[in-house]
Every structure is written in C-alpha cells, then in structure tokens.
Amino acid sequence: MQLSLKFIAGLAATASFALASEGTVVELQRRDSFVSSDDVLNIKSFSAHLNFVNSKYKTALKNFKKNTGKDHPLLRLILDALKRDGTGSVDLEDVNSEQLWAGKMSYGGQSFNIDFDTGSSDTLVNPEAYHPSKSPTSRDTHKTFNVAYGDGTTARGDIYTDNLQIAGLRAKNVAIGRSVTQFITGSEAQRSKGIAGLAFRSIATFQNELPFFDALKQQKAVASGVFQFTLKRGSGSQLNLGGVNAKQFKGNLSFVDVDPSQGFWAADAKVNNRKITAIVDTGSTIISGPMDQVRAVVQGIPGLTPFRNGGGTMYAYNCNKTPKIVISIAGRNFQLGANEAHYGKLSNGQCVLSIQGQENMPLQAWILGDSFLQVASVVFDTDKNRMGFAPQN
C-alpha cells in the first residue's frame, strides 16, 4: 500500500520552523559494533539485531490492532508472523556502530543513557536504570507490559510515571516501563539502558500514556513539536528537540506528509526508481525490505553475489566497485556513498551491501536505518505531521 502524500519544498517551508531556534541538543553516541576493527561483519550478532528489529515491528502491529481495533494497512500477511515473539539538543553516541543511537535522559533524578528510536513509541529501561523507590515523584500506574524480541530477550515489568529531564527540558508524570528482566544485555548494557520511542501513539504498548516527546510538547517544554536527527559516522551526531539546526544540512529541507494514525514515520519513496513505502527508523542499522521488492531492486545492480543470512538474503560485492544506490524521498535524491553502501565485509574481503531482503518481514514496507540516515538530516514534525529531508553538511 502506498500512502497519500504531498511534497513541499523550498525556503518558505524551511523558514516556517524559525531556524534561529535550534531547540535543545542531545549529543548522541553509538553502541558496540557488529563490525570488527578490521571491518569484518559479525553475521551472528547482526542476524540477532535484525530479529530484534523485526520483533519490534511485530509488536507495533499487534499494538496497532489492540489500540485501533483493525489491522495495520501495511501489515504483510506471512505465516505466523505476528505469533513469533521474538529546543534542546542531545549529543548522541554511536552505540553498536550503526545500530542504535544513545543519549542521556533522567527519570525521577536517575540519569542513564538510552537509545532514541523513531520505530517505536514507548520508553523501556533495564531494571538497574530506574528505581521507583528512590524517587518521591514516582507513581505506579498498576499496569504492566511484556515485549518479546527476536534476539531471545524479553522486556516485561511495570509502568510508572515520573518527572522527566532531558538536556535541560522537563516534563512531569511521563511514562516509563521498568523491566524486571535484562532486555539489553552484554556490552550494549554498559552504554545504553533502554529504548525511548519517538513514533506515534497508535503503535504504543502503553495505552493512555503519552510518549516522552509528546509529553514535552503537551507541557510546552519545547518551543515546537519538531525534532531532528543528524547521524554521523564519526563525532557530532545530534538529536535536536523542539527546533531545527540548519547548520546540519545543505540548502533547504524538502517535506513529505505522514499519516500519524498509522503510527510510523512512513512515506512514499523510491529505491533506484522503484516505488516503495519507507519507514525512517533510527533503531535499525541498515536498509531492509520485503524479499520480493529487494530482489527486484538488486536485479538491476551488476556485480552482486547473494548469500543467505537467517531469514533473509544479503549481497556481497567487490569493494572497489561501489554499487549505485539512490533513495528518493520528499522529491529529493540521496545517493549512498562508499561508506553507506556497505555494512562491513565478509572474511574473503568482499563488501556486504547495506540492503537486505527479508522473508519474515511483518510489514509491506522498507526500513531506512543508519545506512540512509548518515547521508540525510531528517526533521520529524509532529505539529504538521510531516518529515523534512536535506543532505548533511
């Protein structure tokens, strides 16, 4: 299914954000890498990550039906897909080199790093991150959650509300799910303690509770209902809350409408001129899509050798011959460079294409993760229900 969209471009649209206000900056960092120091891809760990992402979307689709009483229009009918469990600015840290992006926030005065995820809507944390008994402003909602991920972990526990602070912005009575189980594990857990969702409420696990950015907006802690991700391979990655930093991109933003009732930051797009529906997801590493659609795209790219990776197919190529991958969205073309077109190497020295076809993908849509987000600065506008795109500076 293709969404009904409107393209808006030019200086007038960009100026509507009053770019003099950059909002509040959250510095971002990455987590551990699926790629070794010599650029070899850890297939096993990477497969677990993709299973985690697929499970996230299966949960979102279940939540959509629970919250709305109907199937999601992007639901992809695959056998048992939904039964498998599986203006401030924050500097972001690259946690899991091209996996998720972590920055600092606090609930009830307890501070921790958390992954900011535009592909989900709830804030969930490991048990050590948040202790309700240590906060006089904590309130137990007497509601629970249970989310199983495809990497074998499960987040389950109780939902609380407490005072939120992020990069100097404050809001009261914001929902947080404290898991009694460790769903972020290993070295990841040393750098990030949970997930903070930035998608719309219709896919939320927490019913009748606002996602954290919606709470900031409702309580007028931010100047406007926009946030901006600019993700870079090195340092300087940022999440801007409540404003737009025009220094992060070249030229003007081009906009495309989104339908908030569908829950995702989704829009019509093209990959090498083939029409797709795309979800922009800061919680995913690469670009992935339904197997049949990916196969149709890669058939037009010479020099690719397919290989199996769990429930999907990836592609290898000679690193000296970067394939041409162009993502078109909001009337703009974004070509992946050599760094973005590949995601690590095989042991034989061949590069791995940063696009994977997945047989068990629950959505009739593509997921645009890090490999795309490192070429574009993206503005998410909850006031006008649209996304803005421009090439990074």
Q: Which residues of 319-339 are buried (b: 16+ CB within 10 A; e: fewer)?
A: eeebbebebbbbebebebeee
**Residue 54 in 3-state DSSP?**
helix
Q: In angstroms, rounded to a whole number, what is the distance separating the alpha carbons of residues 341 and 51?
A: 21
Closest CA to 149 of 52, 47, 45, 50: 52
Q: In angstroms, rounded to a whole number, what is the distance separating the alpha carbons of residues 295 and 260?
A: 30
**Residue 316 in 3-state DSSP?**
strand
Catalytic residue annotation? 117, 281
Q: In angstroms, rounded to a whole number, what is the distance separating the alpha carbons of residues 209 and 201?
A: 8
Q: Is 21 left (phi over 0), alpha (psi -120 to 50) or beta?
A: beta
Alpha helices in the chain (DSSP H): 11-15, 43-68, 188-191, 212-218, 291-298, 338-341, 370-373
The kind and range of the H/E element at 193 are none
**Residue 188 in 3-state DSSP?**
helix
Amino acid at 199: A
Residue corresponding to tokens 């080199």: 97
Rounded to the nearest 10°, the torsion over CA 69, 71, 74, 75 is 140
What's the chain's Rg over C-alpha atoms? 20
